[in-house]
Structure 1
Amino acid sequence: MNDEKLFVGVDGGGTRCRVRIETADGQMIGEGEAGPSNSRLGAARVYYEIEKACVLALQQAGRGREDFSRLHVGLGLAGLGLERELHNMLSFKHSFASVCGATDAYTACLGAHTGRDGGILILGTGSCALGIVEGKTINVGGWGFEISDHAGGAQLGLSAVRSALFAYEGCRPETDLTRAIMKHFNNDPEEMVKWAEKAEPHQYGAFAPLIFDSADQEDPLAKRLVAKAVYEASSMIQSLLDQGVQRVSLMGSVSRRIGPRLPDDLRQVLTEPQGDAMDGGILMVKSRTPNTGVSACES
């Protein structure tokens, strides 16, 4: 028992952190969930959320924090495509036996295709596409809310909030969507400003379901915003195909609303994922052979 190794797959994004813990022979110990864990939120906050999720997962097997020293963790985190973020996460003084790190897209791709060649497009709060072809990693997007995250929920929400305020001030036609968003802020632009000063991407992304529902109800603004997101998602998939990827799995909450809207020729290359980013994180930490520039390990 003292030599027991436990393996943890972490799927961390702008909205939540999920973990799965397995034994060396693949038996699941438990799963847990905690708050946002994009690496750009800072290593201290991210590890705090991961530890909370691990405690919940261990409790399902009657275990506790005393088992942290047995945990070998495969981090799949949004934001880890930046070398500085990867360094910050791996150099932080953590409570685990060892840690491997990579982008959530990389571990999601490993999990989706059980370590074989393929590609993924994650559409959640943010977005990122990634492919693995004969050992080569192909990255598309994933550069953060400010300049990237095309077709993600946060960008959809930001566009809708901006448009709602513009319409409220008489600069464009109001729609049911703009009125619903303004009502959320009590029709008070100053309240919107105070909210926006502190809002994180996942808070913008919370408007995504309303936008898709409004598009289904023929709201003209919502239809334009969703059409733009579909175009962006299509462009990311096409970029993977142009670089040699032959099959792509869609992942993330927003993908369930965008997938059926994709062009027919792109839907033909879509395959159901065989696993998720947590599975990929466990595969990565068990193999401990990460690709340079994509992931790294620390013991």
Structure 2
Amino acid sequence: MQDAKFLVGVDGGGTRCRARISDMDGNILGEGRGGPANTRLGLDVAFGSIIAATDIALASAGLSLDRKKDLHAGLGLAGVSLQRERTLLASYDHPFKSMTIESDAYIACLGAHNGQDGGILILGTGSCGCAILGGREHTVGGWGFEISDHGSGAFIGHQAVRGSLLAFEGVIPMGGLAIEVMDRLGNSPERAVPWAEQATPAKYGAFAPLVSQWADDGDEMAEDIMRQAGRDTALLLRALAAKGTDRVVMIGGVAKPINKWLPEDVRQSLVSPQGDSLAGGLLLARKHCEKTAV
């Protein structure tokens, strides 16, 4: 065991980080979870979550924590669609035997289609689409909450907060969703402002399940938000189809609730995944290992 090679696949998103360890034969040995690992939060924050999740996976595998130095890591991280983040990561002092990094969408696509051609649309705290065709990556979205993340949990939650403030001031009708959102914000725009000044995308995303539930109950504002999120999601799915893929897997916490709000034409391209993001991370690590024979 001391001379054995191990792989770790890591899926680092804006809300949480997951790690899975396997041996070179593909046997799963252990898994772990950590906090957010979006590189835009800072590399020390991201790697703190990555290492925490990896340590838990090592412990669950019955391996000592110092075995990180023997792990070939395949990391899929939110934020690395930006070249500046990739440049910083290339020189980061990581604890692994080797480290290969792609976006979280890339490893999700690898895992969903078991390394074969296909597309993926992640709808979680943020959103990003990716297609891998003939070994070439094509992406849509994924540029962050401030200017992108259409159809995501953060987008849905942000719209809920904005709409609820309007309802609180009598600009639009007050419904069940607005009442519940404003209750969480202290029923005061004065309290909502400092909350918003510190709010991360994950904080907005925490409102997304509430919006979906109220939309199912017929709340007018909630329905409007989910319809818009459905239209935005459809745009991303059609963009992936235009890249050349007729098979797309939709994953993430918003994927299931958004499905009923999608136009029928885009539903036809949706397929079930063959594996998850962590399977893709392990595939990424294995390909690097085989290529470099380390």
TM-score (norm: length of structure 1): 0.94
2:256 corresponds to which residue?
Answer: 256
Is 1:20 aligned to residue 20 of structure 2?
A: yes
> Mean Cα displacement is larger for which, 61-70 or 151-160?
61-70
Aligned length: 292
2:77/2:103 contact within 8 Å kept: yes
2:48 corresponds to which residue?
Answer: 48
Q: CA deviation at 1:170?
A: 2.1
1:84 corresponds to which residue?
Answer: 84
1:68-217 aligned at under 5 Å gives the runs 68-217=68-217
> CA separation in 2, counterparts of 1:61 and 1:105?
26
Q: CA deviation at 1:265?
A: 2.3
**Cα RMSD after superposing both structures:** 1.6
Q: CA deviation at 1:136?
A: 2.2
Q: CA deviation at 1:182?
A: 0.5
- Equivalent residue of 1:139, what SS? strand
> CA separation in 2, counterparts of 1:167 and 1:260?
26
One-letter identity of the residue aligned with 2:243: Q
2:156/2:208 contact within 8 Å kept: yes
> Mean Cα displacement is larger for which, 208-217 or 93-102?
93-102
> CA separation in 2, counterparts of 1:102 and 1:113?
16
What's the % identity of the aligned pairs? 47
> CA separation in 1, counterparts of 2:60 and 2:271?
32
Q: CA deviation at 1:11?
A: 0.7
- Equivalent residue of 2:210, what SS? helix
> Mean Cα displacement is larger for which, 189-198 or 116-125?
189-198
2:35 corresponds to which residue?
Answer: 35
1:293 corresponds to which residue?
Answer: none
> CA separation in 2, counterparts of 1:68 and 1:130?
29
Is 1:270 aligned to residue 270 of structure 2?
A: yes
> CA separation in 1, counterparts of 2:116 and 2:62?
35
> CA separation in 1, counterparts of 2:64 and 2:3?
17
Q: CA deviation at 1:288?
A: 1.7
- Equivalent residue of 2:226, what SS? helix
> CA separation in 1, counterparts of 2:283 and 2:70?
17
1:175/1:221 contact within 8 Å kept: yes
2:8 corresponds to which residue?
Answer: 8
> CA separation in 2, counterparts of 1:27 and 1:260?
37
> CA separation in 1, counterparts of 2:16 and 2:32?
11
1:18/1:31 contact within 8 Å kept: yes
One-letter identity of the residue aligned with 1:14: G
Q: CA deviation at 1:219?
A: 0.4
> CA separation in 2, counterparts of 1:131 and 1:140?
9
> CA separation in 2, counterparts of 1:261 and 1:224?
10
> CA separation in 1, counterparts of 2:91 and 2:166?
45
One-letter identity of the residue aligned with 2:14: G
2:67 corresponds to which residue?
Answer: 67
> CA separation in 2, counterparts of 1:218 and 1:50?
40
One-letter identity of the residue aligned with 2:83: E
Q: CA deviation at 1:61?
A: 2.1
1:232 corresponds to which residue?
Answer: 232
- Equivalent residue of 1:234, what SS? helix
- The structure-2 alpha-carbon separation of the partners of 1:106 and 1:177, relative to structure 1 and needing over 3 Å to count, comes to same
Cα deviation 1:17-38 (Å, max 9, x = unaligned): 0111111111111111111111
Cα deviation 1:156-201 (Å, max 9, x = unaligned): 1111101111221222221111111111122022221121111111
> CA separation in 2, counterparts of 1:64 and 1:179?
50
Cα deviation 1:74-133 (Å, max 9, x = unaligned): 110111111111122231111111111000001100000011100011100000111111
Is 1:280 aligned to residue 280 of structure 2?
A: yes
- Equivalent residue of 1:128, what SS? strand
Structure 2: where are the runs of 5+ without partners? none
TM-score (norm: length of structure 2): 0.96
1:105/1:129 contact within 8 Å kept: yes
Q: CA deviation at 1:282?
A: 1.1
Q: CA deviation at 1:243?
A: 1.8
